[in-house]
């Protein structure tokens, strides 16, 4: 583990940091608590139905990000959303394809939940649930910031007061995602529906998107207000509260519903820098709270993080 950089989190920010560092010759190891990679780029299967349950598409504005996206496009992992009038990209066959492609060639340990970070001399000791200790020269945190700060606090790591205060202000809003199957085909437009009011703010038919080839499978994202108020409810209660609105929007009756709770769905504030690197701690922070609350923002934060570290490691 001599001079290894451990990256916590295999979402867009963590994986792109890892790939960019790997390309620059650094030794990287990614630790991910979930069974799959992608974080909020997530796909769920329920029987025959398949749903993109987190990010639905991404946009590309920055030329550096565009270069990565063209590579994924060549690899067949992403494509422009054909039916969309906007310039939107989707994963092929689903959004997690982007993360799977980004994981190639680097070591990603899944089901490795970090529970505590401590500094021992010049090294980091990373405690991983059921897997013991991993040591590293550098650590990059890409989990939502409150979760990253908790890992440091548990290990008794004190950050500079001003930075700690700035990071502690970064909040996230929740989103309840209701994944529904139907009693017949949906009448949703192929590129989904965005609403600015009501309890349902987004609806897309994953069958029309190409994610769920065998059957209609609709992802509903509920409003930030509804999600915060009803976060603890079960799927039956949530469905009953939104059923009428959802069925009117979809144009068909709902057969089954599965609920996914995103506690840290959207970064509500963006930190003034794209990443934070503390050379004296050999510790970094990246993620969408730094680059902006979208897939592209997370990617740009990861790329900035990798560049900081590349310069540091070449000293």
Binding site residues, ligand FAD, CB under 6 A = 8-14, 31-34, 39-41, 54-58, 113-114, 142-144, 147, 151, 175, 177, 221, 262, 265, 287-288, 293-295, 298
Looking at the DSSP assignment, which residues form a beta bridge with residue 194?
202
Q: In this complex, which beta carbon is closest to ligand FAD, that of residue 155 or of residue 159?
A: 155
Separation in Å, CA 172 to CA 66, 117, 190, 305: 27, 23, 29, 21
Pick 183 or 194: Cβ nearer ligand FAD: 194
Closer residue to ligand FAD, CB minimum distance, 81 or 159: 81
The CB-of-143 to ligand FAD minimum distance in angstroms stands at 3
Q: In Å, what is the CA distance from 178 to each residue of 154, 228, 246, 265, 301? A: 34, 14, 10, 14, 29
CB of 217 to ligand FAD, least distance (A): 15
Cβ proximity to ligand FAD, 35 vs 280, nearer residue = 35
**CB 108 → ligand FAD: shortest distance, Å?**
10
Comparison of 41 and 149: residue with beta carbon closer to ligand FAD: 41
Measured in Å, how far apart are the chain's first and last C-alpha atoms?
A: 19
DSSP line for 180-224? EEESS-----TT-EE-SSSSEEEEEEHHHHTS-SSS-EEEEEE-H
For the CB of residue 237, give the shortest distance to ligand FAD in the complex, in Å: 19
Q: In a 10 Å sphere around its CB, with 0-12 CB exposed, 13-18 middle and 19+ buried, how is residue 95 labelled?
A: buried
Q: How far is the CB of 260 from ligand FAD (least distance, A)?
A: 8
């Amino acid at each position: 583990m001599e001079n290894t950089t451990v990256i916590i989190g295999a979402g867009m920010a963590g994986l792109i940091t890892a790939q960019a560092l790997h390309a620059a010759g650094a030794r990287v190891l990614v630790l991910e608590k979930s069974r799959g990679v992608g974080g909020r780029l997530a796909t769920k299967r329920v029987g025959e139905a398949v749903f993109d349950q987190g990010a639905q598409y991404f946009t590309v504005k920055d030329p550096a990000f565009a270069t990565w996206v063209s590579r994924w496009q060549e690899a067949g992992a992403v494509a422009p959303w054909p039916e969309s009038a906007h310039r939107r990209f989707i994963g092929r066959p689903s959004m997690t394809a982007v993360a799977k492609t980004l994981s190639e060639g680097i070591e990603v340990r899944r089901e490795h939940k970090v529970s505590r970070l401590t500094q021992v001399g010049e090294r980091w000791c990373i405690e991983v649930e059921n897997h013991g200790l991993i040591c590293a020269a550098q650590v990059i945190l890409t989990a939502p910031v409150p979760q990253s700060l908790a890992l440091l606090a548990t290990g008794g790591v004190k950050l500079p007061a001003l930075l700690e205060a700035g990071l502690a202000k970064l909040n996230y809003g929740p989103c309840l995602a209701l994944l529904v199957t139907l009693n017949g085909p949906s009448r949703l437009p192929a590129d989904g529906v965005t609403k600015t009011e009501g309890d349902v703010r987004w609806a897309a038919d994953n069958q029309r998107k190409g994610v769920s080839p065998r059957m209609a499978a609709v992802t509903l994202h509920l409003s930030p207000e509804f999600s915060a108020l009803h976060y603890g409810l079960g799927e039956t209660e949530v469905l009953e509260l939104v059923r009428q609105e959802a069925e009117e929007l979809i144009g068909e009756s709902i057969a089954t519903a599965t609920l996914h709770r995103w506690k840290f769905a959207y970064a509500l504030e963006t930190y003034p820098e794209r990443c934070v690197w503390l050379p004296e701690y050999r510790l970094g922070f990246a993620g969408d709270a730094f680059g902006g609350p979208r897939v592209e923002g997370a990617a740009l934060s990861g790329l900035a993080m990798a560049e900081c570290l590349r310069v540091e490691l070449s000293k």
